[in-house]
Amino acid sequence: MSSAEKQRVVVLGVSGGIACYKAVELVRILVRTGFKVQIIMTRGAMEFVTPLTFQTLSGNPVATETFNLTQESEIGHINLADAADLFVIAPATANVIGKISNGIADDLLTTVLMATKAPVLIVPAMNVHMYDNPILQENLRKLRRIGYHTMEPAEGFLACGYEGKGRLPDAEKIAEEIERLLKKKDLSTERVLITAGPNREPLDPVRYISNRSSGKMGYALVRAALRRGADVTLVTGPTALEPPIGARVVAVTTAAEMREAVLREYPNCTAVIMAAAVADYRPVMAAEKKIKRSHGAVELRLEPNPDILKELGQSKDGKWLVGFAAETEDLTANAQKKLREKNLDMVIANNVAEEGSGFDGDTNIATIVDRTGAIRSLPLMSKDDLADRVFDHYLALKSRR
């Protein structure tokens, strides 16, 4: 961070769990990176670490009580809420998550959080059974639905003696996530159309053919684009994912419907990213009535669906086109062939047969090829990280034009 830039403020809420000691390390990293860190501790947190530790490391007074006159005049709970560029709760206990998700503000941390307009990152840490508890999971889902960011706990030995998911992620990982969420709004002039998920092609009123796409990569791209200030339209096939808040969402089922929606939105966008696993084939005829078992053997005749991306490539008109290539062999060569044949600017290729890459998982191993001939192989990373890498590459390529 250059000194000319305004120092960004992370308000860090620390709630009471053994993982508090890792929040100490997090403060050290954030301060070293150049953030101003303002800490709010709950009563529980103070049972594990003293405010003096956080105060010494952050160089700022630590807020602990709502009705303390000295603290209120020195820090001020509304000032804290307003000052935050990002509000992080780490560790977040089951109790604090339960309170926040139900609108309870009965201590300083939950009160300031209620008053902030900054983006919020919740980093849970608790016993594995508490984390698995459906009440806790429902509370987290609710928070995600209203736009809060959450991190998954890490797996391993827990202080309570159990083994499983519940550890606070390493401080470096949390700091990385904080940096990602605070990335500057470098896509604010872009209107991005993103497709995601599979298609379903009906065979009869109760059956369809589809593919294994979960939509996770496309939705990660939507979240990254929104965070970086883009205007985003998502055309999505059927998925089990929460629609991201802030995007215009057009839900479709078949490839033909997806084509229609994409062509309708195309004139208004600056870039299209086709992350959808468009169904290449559809049944020649969908039966009007349910096909009965008494029919015996059924022969399926399939016909190809139109190639949406190829069609877009034929009328680019200054727009940028990004495709995906799901491959099981000759990754780079196949990706470059798609780039050429569909007249694209970038292709993100991944070997779907490789562990940690492709359908349904939360990670991907991708190679980005672009129209200048550059080939960039990326290591295993989360789909959220990859989404940012795609936009970084996109902006770098665009600035060279």
Amino acid at 306: P
By beta-carbon proximity to ligand CTP, the closer residue of 45 and 346 is: 346
CB of 358 to ligand CTP, least distance (A): 11
- We find the least distance from the C-beta atom of residue 338 to ligand CTP, in angstroms, to be 5
Q: What is the CA radius of gyration of the chain?
A: 24
Is 231 in contact with 190 (CB distance < 8 Å)? yes
Alpha-carbon distance 28 to 24, whole Å?
7
Give least dist CB 369 to ligand CTP, A: 12
- Residue 215 has φ and ψ, to the nearest 5°, of 90, -5
Which of 71, 59, 171 is CA-nearest to residue 111? 71
Site stretch for ligand CTP (CB under 6 A), options 34-42, 227-235, 303-311, 375-383 = 303-311
> Which 335-364 residues touch ligand CTP, going by CB under 6 A?
338
325 binds ligand CTP (CB under 6 A): yes
Q: How far apart are the first and last CA of the chain?
A: 27
Measured distance CA(311)–CA(307) in Å, rounded? 6
**Which residues are 51's β-sheet partners?**
none
Q: What is the DSSP letter of 235?
A: E
Q: Identify the residue whose tokens are 């808040």.
A: 245
What residues from 278 to 297 belong to the interface with ligand CTP (CB under 6 A)? 278, 280
C-alpha angle 14-17-22 in degrees, rounded to nearest 5: 65
User: In this chain, which of 120, 174, 203, 309 binds ligand CTP, going by CB under 6 A?
Assistant: 309
Q: How far is the CB of 346 from ligand CTP (least distance, A)?
A: 10
Which of 274, 368, 369, 387 touches ligand CTP (CB under 6 A)?
274
Token pair recorded at residue 94: 């089951």
Q: Which is nearer to ligand CTP, 320 or 324 (CB)?
A: 324
Cβ distance 119 to 150 under 8 Å?
no
Cβ closest to ligand CTP, residue 153 vs residue 323: 323
Residue 308 contacts ligand CTP per CB under 6 A: yes
Beta strand ranges found along 51-127 (DSSP E): 86-92, 120-124
What is the CB-side half-sphere exposure of residue 300 using CA atoms within 13 A?
14
Beta carbon of residue 197, minimum distance to ligand CTP (angstroms, whole number): 10
Dihedrals phi, psi of 88, to nearest 5 degrees:
-120, 135
> Which residue number, 211 or 382, has a Cβ lying nearer to ligand CTP?
211
Q: Which of 1, 135, 159, 160 is catalytic?
A: 160
Question: Which position among 41, 122, 226, 326 is part of the footprint of ligand CTP (CB under 6 A)?
Answer: 326
Q: Among 166, 237, 323, 358, which residue sits at the site for ligand CTP (rule: CB under 6 A)?
A: 323
* The one segment of 90-98, 304-312, 358-366, 384-392 that binds ligand CTP by CB under 6 A: 304-312
Residue with tokens 């999971």: 137
Total residues contacting ligand CTP by CB under 6 A comes to 14
Rounded to whole angstroms, the Cα distance separating 154 from 121 reads 16
Between 64 and 364, CB nearer to ligand CTP? 364
Strands 86-92 and 120-124: parallel
Q: According to the binding rule CB under 6 A, does residue 369 interact with ligand CTP?
A: no
Judged by beta carbon, residue 166 or residue 323, the one nearer ligand CTP is 323
20 is catalytic: no
d(CA 350, CA 117) in angstroms, rounded, equals 38
Q: Given the complex with ligand CTP, which of 126 and 397 has the nearer CB atom? A: 397
Q: x-or-dash pattern for ligand CTP, window 238-267, by CB under 6 A?
A: -----------------x------------
Which residues are identified as catalytic? 160
Interacting residues with ligand CTP (CB under 6 A):
255, 274, 276, 278, 280, 305, 307-309, 323-326, 338
